[in-house]
Amino acid sequence: MTEGQLDVLESKKQEETEVLSCDNCGGNTVFDPATGSMKCPFCGTENAIEATHHNVMELDFNEGLEQEDVSWNKEKRVFRCDGCGAETVLDRDADADFCSFCGSSHIAKSDNRPGIKPSLVVPFKVPQEEAVAKFKTWIGKRYFAPSKLKNSYELDRLSGAYIPYWTFDSHTDSTYTVRIGTYYYVTVTKTVYEDGKPKQVTEQVRKIRWRTQHGRYSEFFDDVLVKASRNVASGLIGNVEPFQLNHLVDYKTEYVSGFLAERYSIPLKAGWEDAKSIMDVEIRGGILSQEYGDEVQIISVSTNYKEITYKHILLPLWISSFRFNQKIYRFLVNGQTGKVSGQAPISFWKVSFTVLAVLAVVAVVLYFFDVY
């Protein structure tokens, strides 16, 4: 690297440092979800962030596979958790002392590069104090949890983390083969017995006449959303979705300041395979909707994907756990909407009582039906 290039990199580093520094006291500012601005934790000074929407351009999928994106390497470095394998992207001058995803303190620097830089982000909207309040409301509504849970659980550290997602666009052109069935009825005569005597009766029996049909189906898919993380439980994160993607803004370092960003563990190519599975379900539904018959069965579908583009985006989550009776229960809070999803202990006695109560109600209803 030439001396001139080093000067440019150093200038860029200083520029980023100045952007994140407090104008009043020089301390490092962090993003404040409550105000959507940069706030100094030392003197309280706030600096507004100008949200922009210039970087919504879709990126070519094939180029993304062939060319490694190194633009994020200048800003971030990667830390890996030896416990769960999660890789966290932090500022180059920052250190990690615990894993936000499993709580382990076995954190080490990784030689892996940060990878493809995000183009868009949904900034945190829910402050930490509100996330805690949302969790307390949620845990108070766990009817089947032990009664003492509300007052005896121990809340672990709540960490704000941006979770990586891919979005994909594609034009699709599918050829397919289906079986279309048309109902028809035939009269069948059979023998039945009444009072021990045979009797001939007729009835209409439904049958199906099948024919094979070939066709084509085209559809454009816009922003098919695919999670790029294997480290957040799919069941939990699915329950705090959806995110409001109309609030996406251009990625800026300021939005991540004071928070963590997970490095995607599902690479671009694997993310595209997941997106194709989502598209395939909709394509099959579209095929069934355009073929008419009493029954339609898809035999085969072959899809050509054209003009595939993608974006790497970050979405906000509060991640934590709580302890009860020496067990750990994970939970998530959507950092944009405040929706909570988590694990909670279940009281055997409450479940048993509920089952017995339901059986008792059913028994009473059946009794009254028999009497009247």
- % residues pLDDT > 90 (the chain): 38
Q: How far is Cα 21 from Cα 321, in angstroms, rounded to an integer?
A: 32
pLDDT, residue 234, reads 61
Q: How many CB atoms lie within 10 A of CB 123?
A: 25
Cβ–Cβ < 8 Å for 333, 139: no
pLDDT, residue 7, reads 39
pLDDT, residue 347, reads 67
Dihedral sign, Cα of residue 210, residue 212, residue 218, residue 224: positive
pLDDT, residue 3, reads 42
- Residue in 263, 31, 262, 30 with CA at minimum distance from that of residue 162: 262
pLDDT, residue 198, reads 87
What letters, b where the CB count within 10 A reaches 16 and e where it falls short, cover 141-156? ebeebbeebeeebeeb
- The whole domain housing 78 covers 50-165+227-286+315-343
Q: How many CA atoms lie within 13 A of 202 on its CB side?
A: 5
Q: How far is Cα 36 from Cα 24, in angstroms, rounded to an integer?
A: 19
352 in a structural domain: no
Segments of the chain scoring below 50 in pLDDT = 1-18, 106
In three-state secondary structure terms, 34 is coil
List, in order, residues 6 or more apart from 23 with CB less than 8 Å away: 45, 47
196 in a structural domain: no
pLDDT, residue 5, reads 40
Q: How far is Cα 329 from Cα 70, in angstroms, rounded to an integer?
A: 37
Cβ–Cβ < 8 Å for 172, 283: yes
14 in a structural domain: no
Q: How far is Cα 300 from Cα 280, in angstroms, rounded to an integer?
A: 12
Cβ–Cβ < 8 Å for 72, 253: no
Cβ–Cβ < 8 Å for 229, 194: no
101 in a structural domain: yes
- Residue in 63, 279, 290, 21 with CA at minimum distance from that of residue 167: 279
232 in a structural domain: yes
354 in a structural domain: no
Q: How far is Cα 232 from Cα 264, in angstroms, rounded to an integer?
A: 11
Structure tokens at 181: 């069935």
192 in a structural domain: no
Number of domains forming the structure of the chain: 1
Q: How far is Cα 13 from Cα 10, in angstroms, rounded to an integer?
A: 5
pLDDT, residue 326, reads 81
- Residue in 114, 58, 108 with CA at minimum distance from that of residue 82: 108
37 in a structural domain: no
